Structure 1
Amino acid sequence: MTPASLPPKKKWSLAKKILLAFGSLALGAGLLLYLNFNKLISSALNKSFESSLISEVYTLKFENLRLNPLQGDISVFNVSFEPKKSADYPYINSYVTLHTESLILKNVDVRHLLESHELMLDRISIKKPRVEMDVNGSNPILFPFKPSKASEEAGKKRTLDSYFLKEFELIDASFHVINSVKKRDFTIENFSVSLLDLLIDQREGEDLISLKNMDISLEKFSGNLTEGPLKHAKFLDFRLMFDSVNLHKNLDTLIFRFRDVQAGIDSLDIHTRDSTFHLQMQRFSLGYLDRSILLKGLSFKPNKTNAEVQKNYRFQTAHFSGTVASLAMLGVDFDSLMYADKVFIEEVVLDSVSAAVYKDNTKPKDLQRFPDYLGQSIAKIENPLRIKSVKATQINLTNEEKKPDGTTAKIHISNGTAEIKNITNLAPEEELHVQAKAYLAERVETTLSLRFSYLKPEFVFDGRLATFDLTHLNPIIKAYSPAEIRNGTADEVTFSGLATKASATGTLKFLYHDLEVDLQLKEQAQWKSSLVTFGANTVLISKNPISDTAPERSVRFTAERDMNKGFVNIIIKSILDGMKETMIMSKENRKEFNQLKRETRREAKKEAREEKGKN
């Protein structure tokens, strides 16, 4: 295409040129005004902060600011909020430091900010800040309540006064908290907070805070504790929600009220300070309005062997370990717990409980330790307590002891259920009820009922062992004596008694047949047992009753309590003493039994005469 054939160029009219010039000028002026306006906003924000008492203790810095004039949003970049090295407020004992790449202030009243240097807005959003807190007091005080003399002379009299914020968001923050008072160091990752309708009313000497809703969550928590029973703790996915919160705080008092709270923790992991025990929990959840607490996957186990753990004890001391699949507390009175330190719970339900008990009996007994019965242990609890019912299912218990001769004895209790009613220290005239059922040595079905007095150290007990092969008791008998049952069947074992502070008395009926006992007489001279003594087969009767016409042997027993052991030991001693009395009667029981035999014979002769007379 030749230049001659090109279309003629359009010439700009004078009006278009003037319009373009004015447009360019307006754009440049607008840009200049925008940049200058941002500087004005930055200056107003700084003046708003510097006019407050907080500026006497903290510094606020930011590198850049951007305003969205259409929406009234202000974005502040590279923000730092740090404590000053010195401040004339000696009652402030704790400090907070914050660094974040961006901070967004939404729906700001820009005109009011420029005219009065007061920040009025609807929302604050902070994403991925780094926060550090240094706590140096049991009641942390981070900000000043009233101006010091120097602040008054400088004209800095204004605190927050009354302030309303529609929404506050802290998203994916990282926290590092050092508590110098309690010697603790915490690290928190991906911490988020959401506050709705926050109202702060700061008066001289006190803060009044209310909000409609507060949601707190964090992805990971880990902490080290220098003092106290714990050494290290961590957990995942913490969740906390408050509804309708009102808070009143002054120098020495904090009053906290709310309509509802829900909380949850996953994967709790705690180590004791001496690294001996390890506590784990898969999940924890709490519901205030539901009045419930739920724990799942509980585990409490030693990090060391039983022998190593026992090195921590000078005297014979049982240590425990175990797991619980779930533990639910229902009908929890949270208000009484928080405001009056009272524990009121309707029901506690445990499922799949496995526990192990270990004790080294080669150690000396603590002769100054006298365990209380359950009634007195509960009565001594300082805080008011009432738990109406505790139910446990699928209970498995292993009791292991290192005997004085160095050998080990084990007893297994499996597939058990238990219900405890009326756990309280508020009604001494009432009784604590315990009902349990389990399998002894994994085969012998056993039921037990206990009623503990709160007024005095005593309890009533009764129980029953269902029909079983007597050889199933060998693991228990051989653990504590040089005897072994070769053959025999227990048709019925029932017992009842009263245990007082120092002894127990009661009755026991032990019906059996085809009993054969092997007693290792060579070892008998070295054997001393406080539980039971078996005689030789020439002394023992092989069945009870001894014939179809003979009466059943039902005996009275008396067992002396080992004052350095608890209630379980006196029950075992009572049962074994009653079984021994059945097989080898004492003088008193023999006298009663002989009288019963004479009465039985008279009755038999009478019935025979009556039968003969009929014929």
Structure 2
Amino acid sequence: MDTEKKPKKKHKVLKWTLSILVVIILFLAAVAWYVNRQWKPLLREAIQNTILDASDSLYIVKFKDIKVNILTGGVEVDSISITPDLAVYQRMIDNGSAPENIVDLQVQKLILQRVNPIKVYKERKLTIRDINIQQPSLTIYYTKLGSLARKSVDKRTVYERINKALKELKIATLFLTNVDFRYVDRSFKKPKTTHLDKMNIRLNDILIDSTSSKDPTRFYNIKDVIAEISDYDFATPDSMYHLSIKHAYVSSMKKQLVVNGVSLTPRYGEMVFSKHFERQEERYQMQFDSIIVNQVNFNTFLETRTVSASKVKILNGNLSAFLNRDKPVKNIDKGKNYPHIALKRVAWGIKSDTVSLKNINISYTEYNPKTNEKGTVFFNDLKGNIYNVTNDSLALTKSNISNAYVQTYLMGKGKLNVHIAFNLTDPNGAFRYNGSLGSMDMSTVNSLTKPLAMVSISSGKLNSMDFDIKGNLKGAGGTLTLKYEDLNVVLMKKDERENFKKMGLISLFANALLLNNSNPRRDKPVVISHPYYARPSEASFFNLMWKTVFAGIKESVGVTKEKESKLLKRAKDFKDAKAEREIRREDRQKRRAARKDNK
């Protein structure tokens, strides 16, 4: 009898337990349903009012639906849009309180995890573990307001703006994945748009309370803002180049920007590229392993559009330029593209204490239509530092000189040290450069001189070269000392098969009458040249530097206008004499032929 009663007892306990669980689940579900139903309008109102208060009614928030799960603390918001009210923005411009940057954010779905709505209701404190925003569209519009910007600044913190709705807001992490980002610059007649897609943004440890705005380790109440982009590639507006970035990373906590695998690749090869232009157009190609920007001031970047950093490192790169001289020159004054003059035209503020270069290879190639050949000069393993790179007016009042100190190897052989001092405020683009070139075999430059000047150096040792030159938009001049020995050259010409051919006798004249085969010559002082080169409008900054040095080299080796005229006269006399000999030879042949016929 007892054994039959026990199972029934167990079944009753199980039934009661299950019944209680079902009741609890139904109760919780009913509570969740009720809370979800009751909290929707409260949350909607809280979100909208918070955004309105924080932005002085500049932004309008709209969303399709909001779902609250009281059991898991999850919140889902569908189809959110945060857009600026343009009428309010215009009023802010009129009263001088408008920001220059405004934002438009479109989100398909916003997912919040571990939200406690009861705490929001009772204590006005909102704590969220994670916020995930997938594939948002973020557009920032920049309007240059100038004197209209921020005349009357509202100095209230974010907390002071929202404390009627919330006393505290904590978000552990906010993820924005695959962001479609656009930056629209309205300071131009036709707005310019920069577009980045597949960007990932992470905001760590967001805290808005009565003390967080005073925390110096936070950037706009955020402990760290991280943005990343990978495998970025786009064509330039003219479709002549592709810019590629393997990976870019920025962190507000580290105050650092790191860009890896940067390359600018022309769409066409050297000669084909030039065919797409009616006039001479430089073709550039560049690649850098890394660009690292340290101690970035993100506050000045957002508030005044000034890129301020303590040091910029450019590491392991190649830069090449090509120019086809078979095209007419451009009808522009290239003086406006002097580095320190072009810096003034940059729309953004630039301020860097140091730009460091390491292991950079540079080459410049020209096509000479007279020889149908290309000549190249290259510099290997360039390294150095450029100091005080800025167009910031306040920084320029403290120091208006930017100094560049670089070391490289000319044609991979001669050690070249150069110092360039740029006057950043001089309207005439004043600059000064000085330096030295170490020992090298002078025939090393034949790959440049033979195709471009039809001159080959058969022998010659450069012992040293020192120069000190000042320049501006009009030209450049200074002193140059070239010490060398055993210089001999061969003048070249093209034969009927387009091969280079030595001009033996003319070369002999050149070495005998035109050139000094050494400096200093025996029992004579060192020749110090004083070159000056008047810059034509088509000459660039580096072209002016080279042409002035070349003028000094010509003077040092003895090439003067008088000697060139004398050599040309000798060459003409030689050609005339040769022509006369040919005529006399033909006459003799005719007379011999006539005598044979008479016999």
State the TM-score, normalizing by the size of structure 1.
0.66
Aligned pairs for 1:550-565 within 5 A: 550-565=524-539
Q: Which has the larger radius of gyration?
A: 1
| CA deviation string 1:399-431 (max 9, x = no partner) | 123334553332221111132122233326632
* Partner SS, residue 511 of structure 2: coil
Q: Give 1:234 shift.
A: 4.2
Unaligned residue ranges in structure 2 (runs of 5+): 49-60, 89-102, 143-157, 185-190, 211-218, 501-505, 565-599
Tell me what 1:423 maps to: 389
* Partner SS, residue 536 of structure 1: helix
Note if 1:330 corresponds to 2:325: no
Taking a change above 3 Å as real, the CA distance of residues 239 and 282 of structure 1, as seen in their structure-2 partners, is: farther
Output the amino acid matched with 2:465. Answer: V
CA contact (8 A) 2:266 2:283 kept: no
> Mean Cα displacement is larger for which, 36-45 or 302-311?
302-311
Aligned pairs for 1:91-490 within 5 A: 96-98=107-109, 119-121=117-119, 163-170=124-131, 174-175=134-135, 177=137, 211-212=169-170, 214-217=172-175, 233-234=197-198, 239-241=202-204, 244=207, 257-258=220-221, 260-265=223-228, 267-272=230-235, 274=237, 275-307=239-271, 309-310=273-274, 313-372=277-336, 373-381=338-346, 383-405=348-370, 407-425=373-391, 426=393, 427=396, 430-453=400-423, 454-455=425-426, 456-490=428-462
Q: How many residues align structurally?
A: 485
* Partner SS, residue 415 of structure 2: strand
Q: Give 1:564 shift.
A: 2.1
Tell me what 1:12 maps to: 5
| CA deviation string 1:219-257 (max 9, x = no partner) | 76678999956677446x76543554589xxxxxxxx82
Taking a change above 3 Å as real, the CA distance of residues 460 and 32 of structure 1, as seen in their structure-2 partners, is: closer
Note if 1:41 corresponds to 2:14: no
Output the amino acid matched with 1:458. Answer: A
CA contact (8 A) 1:457 1:501 kept: yes
Aligned pairs for 1:533-548 within 5 A: 536-545=510-519, 547-548=521-522
CA contact (8 A) 2:203 2:222 kept: no
> Mean Cα displacement is larger for which, 225-234 or 478-487?
225-234
Q: Give 1:271 shift.
A: 1.0
Q: Give 1:58 shift.
A: 4.5
| CA deviation string 1:421-479 (max 9, x = no partner) | 22233326632212222111222222222222232322222222211111001112123
Tell me what 1:81 maps to: 78
Q: Give 1:376 shift.
A: 2.7
Q: Give 1:561 shift.
A: 1.2
Q: Give 1:354 shift.
A: 1.2
CA contact (8 A) 1:161 1:200 kept: no
Partners of 2:113 and 2:255 in 1: CA distance:
38
Q: Give 1:519 shift.
A: 0.7
CA contact (8 A) 1:213 1:245 kept: no
* Partner SS, residue 286 of structure 2: strand
Q: Give 1:483 shift.
A: 0.8
Tell me what 1:253 maps to: none
Q: Give 1:25 shift.
A: 5.9
Output the amino acid matched with 1:365. Answer: V
The structure 1 residue matched to 2:463, chosen from 491, 508, 514, is: 491
Output the amino acid matched with 1:292. Answer: Q
* Partner SS, residue 317 of structure 1: coil
Taking a change above 3 Å as real, the CA distance of residues 388 and 20 of structure 1, as seen in their structure-2 partners, is: closer
| CA deviation string 1:125-178 (max 9, x = no partner) | xxxxxxxxxxxxxxxxxxxxxxxxxxxxxxxxxxx999422223246x642548
Tell me what 1:504 maps to: 476
> Mean Cα displacement is larger for which, 467-476 or 381-390?
381-390
State the TM-score, normalizing by the size of structure 2.
0.67
Partners of 1:83 and 1:290 in 2: CA distance:
31
Tell me what 1:516 maps to: 488
Partners of 2:420 and 2:470 in 1: CA distance:
10
Taking a change above 3 Å as real, the CA distance of residues 58 and 589 of structure 1, as seen in their structure-2 partners, is: same
Taking a change above 3 Å as real, the CA distance of residues 240 and 543 of structure 1, as seen in their structure-2 partners, is: farther
CA contact (8 A) 2:172 2:204 kept: yes
Partners of 1:378 and 1:180 in 2: CA distance:
25
> Mean Cα displacement is larger for which, 307-316 or 394-403?
307-316
Partners of 2:278 and 2:222 in 1: CA distance:
50
Taking a change above 3 Å as real, the CA distance of residues 267 and 382 of structure 1, as seen in their structure-2 partners, is: closer
Tell me what 2:19 maps to: 28
CA contact (8 A) 1:217 1:239 kept: yes
Taking a change above 3 Å as real, the CA distance of residues 47 and 397 of structure 1, as seen in their structure-2 partners, is: same
Q: Give 1:387 shift.
A: 1.9
- Between the aligned residues of both structures, percent identity stands at 16
Partners of 1:29 and 1:554 in 2: CA distance:
106
* Partner SS, residue 498 of structure 1: strand
RMSD: 4.6
Taking a change above 3 Å as real, the CA distance of residues 585 and 298 of structure 1, as seen in their structure-2 partners, is: closer
Partners of 1:546 and 1:25 in 2: CA distance:
115
Unaligned residue ranges in structure 1 (runs of 5+): 1-7, 68-72, 109-118, 123-159, 183-197, 248-255, 528-532, 591-615
Taking a change above 3 Å as real, the CA distance of residues 37 and 310 of structure 1, as seen in their structure-2 partners, is: same
Output the amino acid matched with 1:43. Answer: Y
* Partner SS, residue 563 of structure 1: coil
Partners of 2:79 and 2:494 in 1: CA distance:
82
CA contact (8 A) 1:401 1:409 kept: yes
Q: Give 1:485 shift.
A: 0.5
* Partner SS, residue 33 of structure 2: helix
CA contact (8 A) 1:162 1:200 kept: no
CA contact (8 A) 2:375 2:449 kept: no
CA contact (8 A) 2:230 2:246 kept: yes
Partners of 1:561 and 1:18 in 2: CA distance:
109
Taking a change above 3 Å as real, the CA distance of residues 297 and 180 of structure 1, as seen in their structure-2 partners, is: closer
| CA deviation string 1:88-118 (max 9, x = no partner) | x999987644398xx8766x6xxxxxxxxxx
Taking a change above 3 Å as real, the CA distance of residues 307 and 228 of structure 1, as seen in their structure-2 partners, is: farther
* Partner SS, residue 3 of structure 2: coil
Taking a change above 3 Å as real, the CA distance of residues 538 and 548 of structure 1, as seen in their structure-2 partners, is: closer
Partners of 1:331 and 1:232 in 2: CA distance:
24
Higher helix share: 2
CA contact (8 A) 2:125 2:166 kept: no
Output the amino acid matched with 2:403. Answer: H
| CA deviation string 1:198-236 (max 9, x = no partner) | 9897699xx98964555345676678999956677446x
Taking a change above 3 Å as real, the CA distance of residues 501 and 74 of structure 1, as seen in their structure-2 partners, is: closer
Output the amino acid matched with 1:215. Answer: T
* Partner SS, residue 47 of structure 1: helix
Output the amino acid matched with 1:450. Answer: I
CA contact (8 A) 1:269 1:278 kept: no
CA contact (8 A) 2:365 2:375 kept: yes
* Partner SS, residue 261 of structure 2: strand
Taking a change above 3 Å as real, the CA distance of residues 441 and 288 of structure 1, as seen in their structure-2 partners, is: same
